[in-house]
Amino acid sequence: KQWYQRRVAITAGGANKIREIENLEKLVNLEKLFLGKNKITKIQGLETLTHLRCLDIQANRIAKLENLESNTELDELYLSHNGISQIENLDSNLDLSTVDLSHNKIEYLDNLSHLASLSELWMNDNSIKSFEELTKIEKLKEIETVYLERNPIYEDTMYRKKIQLYLPNIKQIDATYVRL
């Protein structure tokens, strides 16, 4: 076997001024990819990475959640500190348990309700204005942790209580465990 056909656990390309995801097509067994703190503007070039379980592209310049259809084994997705304005194109990523979209421009919790394995959702520092958005994830049985601080809803004096009303099985809100 060629070196690239063997199981490659981790590739780190953080803080390297990378502008484009490219030349990874032969790393077909790659499980974890870290490309944080670069200048990447588009999620692309991951089609052959069908065994990818963790994708971290935090602190880049990504504006659209796209091109993850082939990455059906994704368990963890970290896209904080980008310019993403809507949650979309996760229809094939049914194994996601952790989604970090904090520090983006998201107003609505759309296109998450099919993620039955989702247990952690990081949406702090976005633009969520209504607690009604939580109805879109209330049927997710595995959800235990949500981060929603520093969204417009965070200003509400009943912030934690309202989250608990919509998500009665929640165990952690932001960095604090829920009292039973």
pLDDT tens digits, one per residue of 146-179: 999 999 999 999 999 999 999 999 999 999 999 8
Q: What is the pLDDT of residue 3?
A: 42
Averaged pLDDT score across all residues of the chain = 93
Residue 63 has pLDDT above 70, yes or no: yes
Task: Read off the pTM.
Answer: 0.93
Using a 10 angstrom Cβ sphere, with 0-12 exposed, 13-18 middle and 19 or more buried, the burial of residue 164 is middle
Q: What is the pLDDT of residue 11?
A: 65
pLDDT confidence tier of residue 180, bands split at 50, 70 and 90: confident
